[in-house]
A and B are shown apart, each in its own frame.
Chain A
Amino acid sequence: MAAFACIFVPDFPLEALLRAEPELRSQAVAVLEGKAPLQKVFALNEKARYAGVEPGMSKLQVETCTDLALRPRSPVQEAVAHAALLDCAQSFSPRVEDTGSDTIVLDLAGLETLFGAAPKFARDLARRASDLGLEVNVAVASNPDTAVIAARGFSGVTVIPAGKEAEQLGSLPLEVLFTGTPALDNGPEPERILETLERWGVRNLRALAALPEVALSERLGQAGVRLQQLARGATSRTLVTVEPPLVFEEAIELEYPLVLLEPLAFLLGRLLEQLCARLAARALATQELRLQLELENGWQEEESTANRGDEFGPAGRAPRQVFCRTLRLPVPLLDAKTFLKLLQLDLKAHPPGAPISKIHLTAEPVRPRAAQSGLFLPPSPEPEKLELTLARIAGIVGENKVGCLQLLDTHRPDAFRMQRFAPGESQGLKPHSKNPLHAELKPGDTQKPPHIQTQPGAQTNGANAVTALRIFRPPVRAAVTLRDGKPARIACPKHPELQGDILWVAGPWRSSGDWWQQEGWARDEWDIALPAEDGLALYRLVRDLLSGGWFVEGSYD
C-alpha cells in the first residue's frame, strides 16, 4: 500500500525568523511585510494572537502592544529555511516533492523496513525537523493530497490509515482546501467557491463530502468535484519529484550592524550548528567553509579590501563592501565547535574592519572521513585538535611561520617553502607549484633531493648522523681579512663570538645559479673554526660574489 508523508511549517515566514532567533519562541512575535510606513502584520505566533494582534494590522496598531517583538519579513532566511526543510525530507526519502515553500511531500514506498512503521516514521521526521530549528506538522496518508490537507489542518503528528481518510478529515474547516492546494490553480476563484459553499451551509469537509456529486458538478463544475474528492481523501496523483542541489548555506540579516567580534561569534555559532545539522542529516561533512560578511558602506573600505587578499581563498571578485574568508580543512570535519573556534581565530587575525550587516556562511559538502584507527598504527594528532592547535599557534607566531616545509628543487641556499601540516593526509594531494621552473620534489618518493649530497668518503659510522647546520636568519654580515686568498680574521661588531683569528679554514666551495633571471646568485663557501669558551666553534662563511660582501651563514652543531 502506497504511503505519503507531508511536512508543513505553519506560519512559515515566522518560523524562518524563529529559526535564526530561537530565543523569541517564548514571547509574542509578529512579522511585518511591506514598505514603511505601510507595513502590515503578515504572520504571527499564538502568543501574539492572545495579545490581540491579527494579520493585516498596521505597524502603528501593533506597536501599542507591549512585549511584542516585531521583525521584518526576511526572504533570505525563508529561502534558507526552505532548503533546510528539503534537507530534512531528503534525509529520509529520495523521492521528494517541493509542493510549496512551507510544504514538502515524501514518498514512503519501501522505507518501512528502514525507518519503521508510519507513526514512528512521522515522529522521527518531526524530530529531525525540530533539530533543524523548525517546528512542523507531519501527516502520513495513503495519497499525497490527503497528507497535505491533514498536515495543514492538524497540528503535530497525524497518521491517517488507508480507508479512513474521509472520516479523519471530516472535522477540518473548508479553508484548508483553499490554501496552497495545487488542484485549484486553473479553476474559478477560490474565494467565490468558498463563499458559495458557506452560503449553502457547508462548514467542514464532512459536509462537503456528503453533497451529491452530480448536483455539485452542475453548480460548481469540475472544481467542485475536485474539492469533494479532496474532502473525501479519494484523489490520486503522481509526485513531481525534485532533486535539490547540494548547497548548504545559512544566512542571517541583522537588524542592527555588528561592531564586535563576540556577538558575531555568537551568531556564527548558531549558523554553524544549523549548517552541521543539515550536513549530518544528509550524511555529509565539509572541508571548506566560506564566510561572507556584508559590511556597512563607509569609512574603512580600503582596509577591508586589503584584508580580502588573504592566502586562504580567492576573494578578489567580491564587491567592495563584502568581506570574505575561506577556511579550508585538510580532512572532512563536522564539528560546529571546531569550526567556530577556527573562524574566531581567523577573524581575530583578520578583522572585517567595518560594521557587519549580513552574514552568509556556506559549506562545501564532501563525504565524511572513513578512517579507522588501528591498534598498531603510530600515534598521530587528531585532525580536529590539530587544526585548532595550528590556528592558535599561527595566532602566536604568525601564519607563515608554522607548517611543514617543502624543499624546492634548486641549488639556491635555504630554498624552501612552508605548507599546511597534515600528517594524516594522503601523500598524493599536494598543491602544485606556481613556478614551473622550480619543479618541486614529489613528496613521498624521496625526502632528500638529489642535489643534497654528503661529502665523499665520509664515514657513516653505521648510523644516520649528519653534521647539522644552525642557520642564522638573516645571515650575519662580517668583515673578513684575507691572507693568501683565504680568510684569516673575522670581525662582527654585534656578535662577540664571531670575532678573532680564524684557527682553521677550508674552502672555497663555489656555486652559482639563476643567472638567467634577475635574482641570480653566486657565492663562495668557507668552513672556518673560531676560538670559543669551550674549545672551537665551526661556522660557515659565505662570500657573495655579486656584491662582494662576507656573511656568516650559520654554525655547524
Chain B
Amino acid sequence: MSSLLVCAQPAPGHPVAFPQEGSAFLLNRFSALPQLAAVTPASRLEVRPAPELVCSGIRELDALTGGLPRGGLTEICGPASSGRTSVLVAALAATTQRQEACALVDISDAFDPVSAAAAGVDFERLLWVRCGEKKNPPQRHRDTENTRKNSEENLRYRLEGPLEQALRVTDLLLQSGGFGMVAIDLGGIPFRNARRIPLTTWFRFQRAVENTPTVLLVIAERACATSCAALVMNFSPQPSALSRQVNRPAHAELLDQIQIEGEILRSRAERKPVRSATAAFTTRAVRIS
C-alpha cells in the first residue's frame, strides 16, 4: 500500500526512510494533501472569545467576577439562608431593568413576589413557570382508540415530577430563544435529587445557550453542572449579622439584613484556580407594612 507522503513501499520490518529535508518538507507535504486542506493547525487556532458579561445586580459580585456571562451557564450554590435566592432576585431585577425578557423555572414554587418587587423586578418581563403537581389531570376519552394513549399519558403524568417538568420546560425555553436570562431554581430540592440530572442534560443546555445572548442561571445547593458551567459561585451566610441584633429588644425590630459572602469556585474566564477570591455584601429585608 503506497502513501501520498512517502511514495516508496517500505519493506516489512524496516523503518520508513524520510527524506533529508526534515520537518519543513513534511509540513509542506501535509498541507498539500487535499484531505487535510480544511484542517487548521492547532497552533493557528484562534483563542475563544471572552463572553460578554452582564451586570448581576450586586456591585460586589460584579467587582469579583466581572458579571454573569452571556451564552454560558452560571451556577449559584449554597445551603439554605446563604443568600443564593437573593442573588437570583437581584439578577432578575437587573435583567428586566435592561428591558430583556427573563424566565424563571421554579421547581419548588418558592418564588416570593414581594421580595422580587422590592428588588425591582419588572414582572411584565418575567415569565414564571411554577413546576409541581398539575391541577387538571388529563381527561378521559370514551373511544377505545384513545384509551391506550390516555393510559400512557396518565402514566407519564403520574411519573413526571417537578424536576422532570423543570428540565423539559428549560429545554423548551432555551430552544425558543430570545430570553435575556433563563433561571432554574433547584434550591428547594435535596442535592441527591439534583445530582441525578444527567451530565448530558447540562451539556445540552450549555450548547443551547452557546452563541446566544442568554444567561443560564442555576440555583442549587451544590454545584451539579460540573464542567458545563462557565461560572460557579458558592455562597455562605455570615452569622455576625444576627449576633449584632441579639441585644436589641425583639419586639422593636425584625430581621433587617443578612451578610453574605460569595466565593468563586470555577470561572472559565480565569486561567488559574481562584479559590480565595471572595466578595461580601449585605442584603436588606423587606416586609409588607
Query: Which residues of A are interface residues toward B (Cβ below 8 A)?
Result: 259-261, 299-300, 303, 307, 349-351, 353-355, 377-382, 385-386, 388-390, 392-393, 396-407, 411, 413-414, 416, 418, 421, 423, 427, 443-444, 447-449, 451-455, 457-473, 486, 497, 504-509, 511, 525, 527, 529, 532-538, 554-557
Contact = CB atoms under 8 A, between A and B. Distances in A.
A532 B80 contact: yes
B88 interface: yes
A124 B279 CA distance: 69
Contacts of B123: 404-407, 443, 447
26 contacts: A307-B139, A378-B99, A379-B178, A380-B178, A404-B125, A404-B128, A405-B123, A413-B288, A443-B123, A447-B117, A451-B289, A452-B114, A453-B118, A455-B286, A463-B59, A464-B119, A467-B285, A468-B88, A468-B89, A470-B188, A508-B251, A509-B287, A527-B255, A532-B81, A557-B83, A557-B86
A537 B187 CA distance: 14
Contacts of B258: 467, 538, 556
Interface in B206-242: 213-214, 236-237, 239, 242
Interface footprint category on B: 35 or more
Contacts of A457: 256
A512 B130 CA distance: 28
Contact of B145 (A259, A300, A418, A455): A259
Interface in B130-149: 130-132, 134-136, 139, 141-143, 145-146
B101 interface: yes
B10 to A, nearest CB: 59
A453 B169 contact: no
The 9 A-B pairs with the shortest beta carbon distances in the complex, nearest first, are: A381-B178, A458-B284, A557-B85, A527-B255, A455-B256, A468-B85, A389-B176, A470-B110, A398-B134
Contacts, number: 301
Given A404-B124, A453-B288, 12 more contacts: A259-B146, A380-B178, A397-B131, A404-B123, A405-B128, A413-B288, A453-B287, A467-B258, A506-B255, A507-B251, A511-B288, A537-B81
A378 B110 contact: no
Contacts of B194: none
Contact of B126 (A299, A349, A401, A404): A404
Contact of A466 (B108, B134, B283): B283
Contacts of B98: 378
A97 B175 CA distance: 49
A473 B141 CA distance: 32
Interface of B: 57-60, 79-90, 93-94, 98-101, 108-132, 134-136, 139, 141-143, 145-146, 160, 165, 168-169, 172-173, 175-180, 187-188, 213-214, 236-237, 239, 242, 245-246, 248, 250-251, 253-258, 281-289
A407 B285 contact: no
Nearest to A486: B250
B117 A463 contact: no
Contact of B129 (A381, A397, A506): A397
